[in-house]
Chain A
Amino acid sequence: DSGVTQTPKHLITATGQRVTLRCSPRSGDLSVYWYQQSLDQGLQFLIQYYNGEERAKGNILERFSAQQFPDLHSELNLSSLELGDSALYFCASSAEGLADYNEQFFGPGTRLTVL
């Protein structure tokens, strides 16, 4: 058990809908990362937050947004869903400082199926 939790484990929804994926980092970890893994696109880095602020942005679509709350949990919001958004979404956390960081710990992922 990595200590990172993600809910829900599975999500089935329809095109055009909006969903929210939740991630709770390991206790004390300030950084949260979101990744998407799909058959078409492979593994992609979406976004990183550090202590509530966005630090780095990857291939995140405009229809997607994320935030990290004061209690350090993070949510990834996916809207106007398309079939191609079906994927496994991973969250990871690390005890990252400004100069260096420790290893990333991954959650079990949320499998999103868009029908």
Chain B
Amino acid sequence: AQKVTQAQTEISVVEKEDVTLDCVYETRDTTYYLFWYKQPPSGELVFLIRRNSFDEQNEISGRYSWNFQKSTSSFNFTITASQVVDSAVYFCALSEVTLSGGYQKVTFGTGTKLQVIP
């Protein structure tokens, strides 16, 4: 069965600190997708990234970076020089991939609430 664990329930950092949000997953599939989403206090969901299981290259987008390590089944998310606007709940998710390219059995983690203190 698929499982996504975000062990950090809440994290508080002071502005400009770097912070890493952990995501550990379990799956028997060899092909799968991993995602990160952001949910700010206003409640909307924001898609951040999708990574497929064949691409272990780390990704950087501005202050955001993602470290995908298949060997440890982890897909961690780092925010560099955090800002107050980064305060949100962050969700990691895992899905298998159907032959048509669709998604099934999408499993979300329980989320990590990040508070950035000015």
* Residue ranges of A at the interface with B (Cβ–Cβ < 8 Å): 2, 35, 42-45, 48, 50, 55-58, 88, 90, 92, 96-101, 103-106, 108-109
CB of B106 within 8 A of chain A? yes
Choose from B44, B47, B108 the contact partner of A104 (Cβ within 8 Å).
Answer: B47
Q: Are B105 and A35 in contact (CB under 8 A)?
A: no
Bound form: Cα–Cα A70–B67 in Å: 40
Whether A43 contacts B108 in the complex (CB less than 8 A), given A55-B100, A103-B50, comes out as yes
What are 17 A-B interface contacts by the 8 Å CB criterion?
A35-B45, A42-B108, A44-B106, A55-B98, A55-B101, A56-B102, A56-B104, A56-B106, A58-B105, A88-B43, A90-B45, A98-B101, A99-B101, A103-B50, A105-B47, A106-B46, A109-B44
B101–A106 touching, CB < 8 Å: no
- The 9 closest A-B CB pairs, nearest first, are A45-B106, A55-B102, A56-B102, A43-B108, A106-B45, A104-B47, A56-B103, A56-B104, A103-B47
Q: Is the CB of A101 within 8 A of B106?
A: no
What count of chain B residues pass the 8 Å CB interface test? 21
Interface on B for A, CB 8 Å cutoff?
37, 43-47, 50, 91, 93, 95, 98, 100-106, 108, 110-111
Which residues on B sit within 8 Å (CB–CB) of A97?
A: 101
B101 to chain A, nearest CB (A): 5
